[in-house]
Structure formats: structure tokens, C-alpha cells
Amino acid sequence: MPGYLTLPQDEFKGRVSRLQDNMNAAGLGGVLLLQNTDRYYFTGTLQSGFVVIPAEGAPLVAIRKDCERAKAESAWPVTKLASTRGLAHLVRETLGELPSPLGMEYDVLPVKQAMMMEKLFDGAEFADASHALMQTRAIKSEAEVDAIRIACEQVDRAVSMVAGIVKPGMTERELSARIEYELRMVGHGGRIGMRGFNQWIFYGHILSGSGGGEPSGFDMPTSGKGSSPLLSQGASDKVIEMGEALTVDIMGSNGGYLCDQTRLFSLGELGEPLKGAFEAAVAIEEEVAAIARPGVPASKLYEKAVELAEATPYGDNFLGDGAKVSFVGHGLGLEVDEYPFLARGFKMPLEEGMVFALEPKFIFKGIGAVGIEDTYVVRTDGAEQLTTSPKQLVTIG
């Protein structure tokens, strides 16, 4: 399973072509890429430099360091950039003119970097390219889906060992370390990419009992206490005890491509309301996944999940106990938070090739969290589940 993921050059050329279609629809003359993930996505390399993609023609891949490695990795010709100050001149020289308006990644680009680019490209008209970029990245090729499948295999391998190693008295952190070790041994890249400002995550969340219901300011249904006020999500040194819900919410990463899966365990029998709420979550996932197909607005999946949850005795606890999140799923790819968002008001229609994680969860403050999560790809006739671990509650001992 472990390996060095490389994609065929035609993959990157297809991505640029799709982006150019989206750029033309948005009235952009070109895009200037600075963010690592975007530069890699469209070229195959993230060696230090800049990428300029015009509305027509081949991209300019301008590399400062390391140029030789970039040439070996990039699907496009690479140009040596001696100094950032010479970037605008190089663009004019290579493309014949400055693309206008020139789109930038305003959703992730620090203001200082944006101002520096605006100064370098003196007189150029700038615009936000974020939506065009995210639109392009939302549609996964079969090569990307295959990469995500391997990430799903990583997660299944790690989850399958939980029942054999967890025991009363073990801390969340100890169990998390064992799971993370197994993930690394089967090829996990060790990095989880997130696009949202001030959002981060580490492998996932291993949460038990009251730790699962720990409130948090992070935009996710469960968070955990973490190890400090700064590292304030994920596993803590809380001891895993009998009769508690144990949530194993982890992400695989194969060459940067992610999957997301949540499964539920308990040491001894799980009581109410947790057991009933978990069964409700499984049923909600199955019904919501059944309506996911091309043309269906992403918001409809959220609305359906809320409707089903409110018909259970646990509606007040769906997606939060008090401060609820307004989504029941999210897109996945090289980052956790890609299009589509299965969220209130996000009316973008699903398209074939979109990959998303669906995560109906119930949170009970002071008691715990239960739920399920799986990764799906949208096909012509519905959603294909990519994660493979059995969905039932695993009772240990």
C-alpha cells in the first residue's frame, strides 16, 4: 500500500483546461497562484515559485527553488525565476502581455502577499479567482478517486485494529498514537490540508465519553479538548472508561488525497440516549446518501438530514448541543474543506466526480458524541461509497 503517488501529465493538462473554461465564464484573463496546494494541483510540483495560467495557452511555471526538481515533476515547462521582483517582466515576456483581470486566491492569500503582488504588477487589474479554482478542483478524475480509495484502505486498516488494542485505563492520546502509527505504516502522508482561515486538524479525533461532547469554537460537529488551550481539539489525556461512546474519526492521506471516516466503539454496553442516537445517525446517512446525484443542490442533503434528525427524539442534539454547525458534510480532495459543502444555503448542484464526506452526528454535552461518517463520490446514477469499514457499533468486552 505505501508508495510515492505520481499522476500522469495529462491529468494536470486537463485541470488547466477546465480552469480556463471556468476563468472565461468568470471573465478572468488569467490567474496568479501562490498557494502550495493550488500550484501543485495545476502543475504537479510545489517547488518554490509562482504559476500564472492565462485564459488561453500554457501556464507559466516560474520557479525560484528547486528548479531541477520542478522540471522533473512539472507537467509544464519550467522557467527559472532569479528574483520575485522580476516576475511581472517574466510574465510579459513569456505571455506577451499581463493577463487582465488577473485573478488571485483571495480566500487564502495573506494581505501582505496580495499587496506585494499588486505592487509588482503595477497597473494590472486584479480579481478574486477563488470560486473558479474551487469549482475546478471539485470535480475529481478517476485517478484522483483511485488515490482516495487507497486513503480509505489506510483508514480501514487502522480502524480494524482498534478493538484489539483499546482497554479501560488507556487514554485517548495513547489510542490516538497507536492509530496514527498504523496509518503512517500503511502510507499516510502525515499532513491534513485545510483551506479555511484558522482551521486545522491533525489526523482526526479520537474522543471518548464526555470528551466527545466538549464544546469548541472550531467549525466542526465534534472537537474534543485537545492537549492545551492552543492545541484545543482532538485527543486528550482523558481516560477511556467502560460504557462510554468511543468515536474514531480519522482521515487517510495518500499522496495528499484525503478520505474521512467515523466509526463508533464502546467498552461494554452503550446505554441510552447514545445507542439510539447512533442508530438514528446510521439511518440518516443512508437516506441522505440515497438522494445524492448530479443536479441535486448540495443544500438539499443538509435539509434532508435535519428533517430526518428532527423526526427522532434526538433532534435538539443533531450537529451540536447548543451551538450547532450548519453543515452535514463537506467536499474532500487535497484539502478537507473543498466544494461541495453540504450546508444550509449552499445551493451548488452536485456534479459527477464530486467527492464528499457525509457526517450525521449527535452531540450530548457531558455525556458524549455518536455518529458516523463516510466518503462518497458522485456518479451518474447516485453516490458511490468509498470508505469500507463496517458501520455497526463495535462493543468490546
Task: Assign 104 to helix, strand or coil.
Answer: strand
The pLDDT score that the predictor gives to residue 1 is 59
The residue from 104, 136, 168 where one domain ends is 136
d(CA 295, CA 114): 36
Q: Are residues 65 and 148 in the same domain?
A: no
Closest CA to 206 of 259, 166, 153: 166
The pLDDT score that the predictor gives to residue 295 is 98
- Tens of pLDDT along the chain (397 residues)? 567 899 999 999 999 999 999 999 999 999 999 999 999 999 999 999 999 999 999 999 999 999 999 999 999 999 999 999 999 999 999 999 999 999 999 999 999 999 999 999 988 999 999 999 999 999 999 999 999 999 999 999 999 999 999 999 999 999 999 999 999 999 999 989 999 988 888 889 999 998 888 877 777 788 788 888 878 788 999 999 999 999 999 999 999 999 999 999 999 999 999 999 999 999 999 999 999 999 999 999 999 999 999 999 999 999 998 889 999 999 999 999 999 999 999 999 999 999 999 999 999 999 999 999 999 999 999 999 999 999 999 999 8
Q: Are residues 189 and 317 in the same domain?
A: yes
Instruction: From residue 336, give the alpha-carbon distance in Å to each of 41, 173, 259.
Output: 15, 22, 8
How deeply is 43 buried, as exposed, middle or buried, from its count of CB atoms within 10 A (0-12, 13-18, 19+)? Answer: buried
The pLDDT score that the predictor gives to residue 186 is 94
Q: Are residues 119 and 199 in the same domain?
A: no
Q: Are residues 124 and 204 in the same domain?
A: no
- Residue for grid cell 474519526: 249
Q: Are residues 83 and 172 in the same domain?
A: no
Any idea what the CATH number is for the domain that residue 30 is in? 3.40.350.10
- Residue for grid cell 499522496: 255
1 falls within a domain:
no
91 falls within a domain:
yes
The pLDDT score that the predictor gives to residue 2 is 67
